[in-house]
Amino acid sequence: MIPTTISLEAFGTTNLLIFVGLAIFCTAIPSLAFAFASERLPSVVTATISLLIPLFAGAFAFVILGEKVPSTAIPGSVLVVAGIVMILRQNNQIAASGKPIHA
């Protein structure tokens, strides 16, 4: 029989507190911090931070959780880092030339 309603008691107090803690510390605070930083930092910096999120997630999973790194993740990570280096180099060259950036 499939229940039609889910009571909060079914989850337990500990599980609900963990869920609320994850919602606050892993979603709300990082989202607000990124929005705050996006207003104050150049778009190239915030885009670079966004591109690095999957790399850090994989690295933390490897270091903290002991996850195995798939063989396809290494060349993908190298491509992401190479792309970031290319973006930052191009941005530095544009900044050094003093020419305005047109969209």
Which band of pLDDT confidence, cut at 50, 70 and 90, is reported for residue 102? low
The tokens of 61 are what?
């999973």
Closest CA to 54 of 28, 83, 25: 83
Report whether 8 contacts 16 (CB < 8 A). yes
What pLDDT digit, counting tens, does each position of 61-70 carry? 999 999 999 9
What pLDDT digit, counting tens, does each position of 34-51 carry? 999 889 988 888 888 888
Domain ranges of the chain: 1-40, 42-103
- Is the pTM here over 0.75, yes or no? no
What pLDDT digit, counting tens, does each position of 5-25 carry? 766 677 788 888 999 999 999
Report whether 89 contacts 96 (CB < 8 A). no
The per-residue pLDDT for 92 is 77
The per-residue pLDDT for 8 is 64
